[in-house]
């Protein structure tokens, strides 16, 4: 088989790029290791910045998102028994975020690829990029005993943190800059009325907690847990007990608890791969960078990579102009690093670090004091949370 752009990974990055390129007459094939049901079973991001939403509309997949997504004009930070509001709209001159689950967004993208006749191959095993440092790269993959080959002009690695794309680049051609945190987030999805119509990020001496939601009847809650914990260590009752302890009384008493319909642990990590290109292989999304989820940047940063790469590929095919492809890594990384900085800062602000000295703990408290005593500091938080311009 031959295509113009071979995409590894059928998560949000790969599907969005495929859909955007299709609308500009550029052919793609998406190779996804797992089944569609598996990909749609993963509960992840919930907060979309407005530029991401605009890109979804440009890809003609924004209809359900606009109908069912909830516009959020602010969120709360809880600490020391109180909660204080960050008024995103007022602090950013009118900007807001959209609460719409990654699962729903991925489903919309799959539906669109089906509708437009896009090629997404599920269950593609042993996907491998070849000859990526030549002008004739190709991909191989296996379905059962059969090995298939796809020739292409470019390969885009959208295969997430554990994918094969990054690993196909020789070690001496890339640099990994990384920070691993000694805790994870235990997340629970429950079919209960959310405790608050706006998100609550809570800093507490027992650890961080987050009250989020997917719809007026679907809650998403998280608590910081040691990275060594497993899901089996936490019954639903234990989870909600611990969540209650970390929230101000007025929030804890208002919470409706229920049975979990999904429970998972995500380790926290910061990682950047530099550069985001090797020959004719381009990396995008979680394949190139990971953030701790605290600032809700992961999916949103993936979207900015896709924005730059989409325009670069359109310029290449429609105008033979390769400046966008040449500058892709540099442009994408400039924004990636701002997302890294913000996610790291939010994580440091709100989590308990087991090895922190009393001095560092006091600095953390002072950071919160400063935030809520300075309009300028709050405006900086808000500007980053709604998303810096692409
Ligand atoms: P992925 O979603 O990881 O998709 C990669 C795809 O590639 C997968 O489908 C995988 O099966 C496939 N694949 C892997 N290896 C191969 C291979 N060898 N061959 C073929 N296919 C392969 N981000 C936000 O912006 N806002 C949030 O509120 C937010 N909250 C989060 C909460 C949690 C608990 C977690 C864990 C993450 C959160 N994120 C958030 C981050 C966000 O989910 C990720 O950044 C996003 O999924 C990245 O999309 P992607 O398509 O680049 O990668
Ligand atoms: C959600 C996840 C986040 O990382 C975040 O910062 C906000 C919300 C969520 O899953 O709802």
Contacts of 39 (CB under 8 A, 6+ apart): 10, 11, 32, 106
Instruction: Kindly give the number of the ligand 2 atom that is closest to the alpha carbon of 294.
Output: 6
Contacts of 254 (CB under 8 A, 6+ apart): 195
Residue 179 near residue 270 (C-beta atoms within 8 A): yes
Ligand 2 probe mutation, 12, 42, 47, 52, most atoms within 8 A of CB: 47
Kindly list the protein residues whose Cβ atom lies closer than 6 A to any atom of ligand 1: 8-14, 31-34, 39, 44-47, 102, 124, 127, 158-160, 162-164, 185, 187, 266, 285-286, 293, 296-300, 302
Residue 275 near residue 174 (C-beta atoms within 8 A): yes
Sign, CA torsion 98/104/108/113:
positive
> Largest alpha-carbon pair distance within the chain?
64
pLDDT given at position 44: 87
Give the residue, by CA position, lying nearest to ligand 1 atom 26: 296
pLDDT given at position 43: 83
The per-residue DSSP string of 249-288 comes to: HHHHHHPPP--EEEEEEEEEEEEEEESSEETTEEE-GGGT
Q: Is the CB of 294 under 6 A from ligand 2?
A: yes
Tokens representing 102 are 């990654």
pLDDT given at position 193: 97
35-88 pLDDT, tens digit each? 999 999 888 888 999 999 999 999 999 999 999 999 999 999 999 999 999 999
Low-confidence residues in the chain, pLDDT < 50: none
Contacts of 37 (CB under 8 A, 6+ apart): none
Instruction: Kindly give the number of the ligand 1 atom that is closest to the alpha carbon of 9.
Output: 7
Q: Which residues of 39-53 are buried (b: 16+ CB within 10 A; e: fewer)?
A: beeebbbbbbbbbbb
Exposed, middle or buried, 83 (CB in 10 Å: 0-12/13-18/19+)?
buried
Residue 267 near residue 313 (C-beta atoms within 8 A): no
Q: Is the CB of 331 under 6 A from ligand 2?
A: no
Instruction: Kindly give the number of the ligand 2 atom that is closest to the alpha carbon of 293.
Output: 4
* Three-state SS at 184: strand
Which ligand gives the minimal distance to the CA of 109? 1
Give the residue, by CA position, lying nearest to ligand 1 atom 52: 285
* Of the candidates 190, 183, 187, 132, the residue with the CA atom closest to the CA atom of residue 354: 183
- The pTM of this model reads 0.96
Cis peptide before 275 (omega within 30 of 0): yes
**H/E run at residue 226:** strand 218-226
- Using the mean position of ligand 2's atoms as its centre, give its distance from the Cα of residue 143 in Å: 35
The per-residue DSSP string of 64-110 comes to: HHHHH-EEE-EEEEEETTEEEEEEHHHHTTS--EEE--HHHHHHHHH
User: What are the strands of the beta sheet with 281-283, ordered from one edge?
Assistant: 119-121, 28-31, 5-8, 154-157, 281-283, 277-278
* Of the candidates 28, 100, 350, the residue with the CA atom closest to the CA atom of residue 203: 350
Which ligand gives the minimal distance to the CA of 347? 2
Give the residue, by CA position, lying nearest to ligand 2 atom 9: 46
pLDDT given at position 41: 87
344-374 pLDDT, tens digit each? 999 999 999 999 999 999 999 999 999 999 9
* Of the candidates 99, 385, 86, the residue with the CA atom closest to the CA atom of residue 216: 99
Instruction: Kindly give the number of the ligand 2 atom that is closest to the alpha carbon of 185.
Output: 4
How many whole angstroms separate alpha carbon 98 and alpha carbon 49?
Answer: 6
């Amino acid at each position: 088989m031959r295509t113009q752009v071979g995409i590894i990974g059928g998560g949000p990055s790969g599907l969005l790029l495929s859909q955007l390129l299709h609308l500009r007459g550029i052919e793609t094939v998406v190779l996804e290791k797992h089944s569609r049901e598996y990909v749609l079973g993963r509960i992840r991001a919930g907060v979309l910045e407005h530029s991401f939403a605009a890109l979804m509309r440009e890809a003609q997949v924004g209809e359900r998102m606009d109908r069912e997504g909830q516009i959020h004009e602010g969120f709360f930070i809880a600490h020391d028994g109180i909660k204080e509001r960050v008024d995103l709209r007022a602090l950013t001159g009118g900007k807001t975020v959209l609460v719409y689950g990654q699962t729903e967004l991925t489903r919309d993208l799959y539906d669109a690829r089906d509708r437009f006749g896009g090629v997404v191959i599920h269950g593609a095993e042993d996907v491998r990029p070849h000859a990526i440092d030549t002008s004739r790269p190709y991909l191989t993959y296996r379905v059962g005993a059969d090995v298939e080959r796809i020739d292409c002009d470019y390969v885009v690695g959208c295969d997430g943190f554990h994918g094969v794309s990054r690993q196909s680049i020789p070690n001496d051609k890339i640099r990994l800059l990384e920070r691993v945190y000694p805790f994870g987030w235990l997340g629970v999805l429950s079919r209960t009325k959310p405790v608050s119509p706006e998100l609550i990020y809570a800093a507490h001496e027992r650890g961080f907690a987050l009250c989020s939601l997917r719809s007026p009847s679907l809650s998403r809650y998280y608590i910081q847990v040691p990275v060594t914990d497993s899901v089996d260590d936490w019954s639903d009752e234990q989870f909600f007990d611990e969540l209650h302890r970390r929230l101000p009384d007025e929030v804890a008493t208002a919470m409706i608890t229920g049975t979990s319909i999904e429970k998972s642990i995500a380790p926290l990590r910061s990682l950047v791969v530099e550069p985001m290109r090797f020959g004719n292989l381009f990396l995008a999304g979680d394949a190139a960078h990971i953030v701790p989820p605290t600032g809700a940047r992961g999916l949103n940063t993936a979207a900015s990579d896709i924005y730059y790469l989409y325009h670069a590929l359109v310029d290449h095919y429609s105008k033979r102009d390769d400046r966008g492809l040449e500058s892709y890594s540099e442009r994408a990384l400039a924004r990636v690093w701002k997302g890294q900085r913000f996610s790291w800062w939010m994580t440091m602000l709100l989590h308990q670090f087991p090895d922190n000295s009393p001095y560092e703990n006091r600095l953390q408290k002072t950071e919160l004091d400063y935030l809520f005593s300075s309009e300028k500091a709050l405006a900086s938080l808000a500007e980053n949370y709604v998303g810096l311009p692409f």
